[in-house]
A and B are shown apart, each in its own frame.
Chain A
Amino acid sequence: NAGVTQTPKFQVLKTGQSMTLQCAQDMNHNSMYWYRQDPGMGLRLIYYSASEGTTDKGEVPNGYNVSRLNKREFSLRLESAAPSQTSVYFCASSQNGIMGETQYFGPGTRLLVL
Chain B
Amino acid sequence: DAKTTQPNSMESNEEEPVHLPCNHSTISGTDYIHWYRQLPSQGPEYVIHGLTSNVNNRMASLAIAEDRKSSTLILHRATLRDAAVYYCILEGQGAQKLVFGQGTRLTINP
Chain B CB within 8 A of A33 CB = yes
Chain B CB within 8 A of A61 CB = no
* A58-B44 in contact given A42-B102, A100-B32 (Cβ < 8 Å): no
- Complex Cα distance, B44 from A4, in Å, reads 12
* Contact between A103 and B103, CB atoms less than 8 A apart: no
Q: Main SS of chain B's interface residues?
A: loop
Across the interface, name the chain A residue whose C-beta is closest to B48.
Answer: A102
**B42, B51, B101: the one within 8 Å of A107 (CB):** B42
* Contact between A45 and B46, CB atoms less than 8 A apart: no
* A99-B44 in contact given A33-B97, A41-B102, A42-B103 (Cβ < 8 Å): no
Chain B residues whose CB sits within 8 angstroms of the CB of A106 once the complex forms = 43
Chain B CB within 8 A of A50 CB = yes
Across the interface, name the chain A residue whose C-beta is closest to B105.
Answer: A40
Chain B residues whose CB sits within 8 angstroms of the CB of A44 once the complex forms = 100
- Complex Cα distance, B109 from A42, in Å, reads 24
Q: Which residues of B contact A (CB under 8 A)?
A: 30, 32, 36, 41-46, 49, 51, 87, 91, 93, 95-103
